[in-house]
Structure 1
Amino acid sequence: MTKKFTEEQYRAIAKAGDKAANEVYGLIDSRVDYEELLRMEAPNQDNDFYSEFTLYNQQIMAIANPLTRDWAHEQFVEKERKYIWQLKPLFDDDDEIYLKEYENGIISYTINSNHASPLTESKVREWGYNPDMFNRERVE
């Protein structure tokens, strides 16, 4: 069974792998507690993420290992989808407000739907926006 990890989970696993590789024991050693390292590197994950470790340890170890990390990313990480993000209206007469990424990389609002930019959820979160405050439409 193959599991698809999110980008956030991938980064946490990679960070835990780098930390283990820099420990005295090295990357692949029975004395390294990867589940504990993941709990330290990804403290905000739900408990299912940690309990899945034993089910998906081969995929997790492929991501943790710097030599196989790029290959594992292609195999086991979900491709992020892009969406057009429209702010949910607070009142019936509110203007439609969309997110736009400008040339300098800043993400801000626009009221013109033709200027709205397709953005991934992680990019929206990175700029401090709460995705739950938006309606989103998937773009190909």
Structure 2
Amino acid sequence: MKNEAVKNGVIFPAGPKNDAYAKYFVGQSYLQGLVSDPEVNVGVGNVTFEPGCRNNWHIHHDGFQILLVTGGEGWYQEEGQPARHLTAGDVVVTHDGVKHWHGATKDSWFAHVAITAGTPEWLEAVSDEQYKAVEEGK
């Protein structure tokens, strides 16, 4: 289940192109909001990445991010740490203030549910060189 099933939505729909956050991604991603209750102060969305797509380095301030991987293959990396290869069923917890990025492997679609609290600070893109080094270290 590396591509077609992930592309079409494994559990939740892939959603429309993620135009609102496109400037914070290298490649194409899709975003389907899953919770829209104004009384719930946590964002919950299904994020789907085309092969090779990844988000920029970023930090969550006064909050956290939990990723529930639902399909495909991807990467998660915290600054100063080796990248972690992700597949369906993996769970990632990013604590407040930790600089990190996540995205698809070069040859697989990737989907996760992101549960996010706090304010994101978007930083520099993961360069092609950084991404290639992660892929080659696989």
TM-score range, shorter chain: under 0.3
If asked which structure has higher relative contact order (CA below 8 Å, sep 6+), I would say: 2
The structure with the largest alpha-carbon Rg is 1
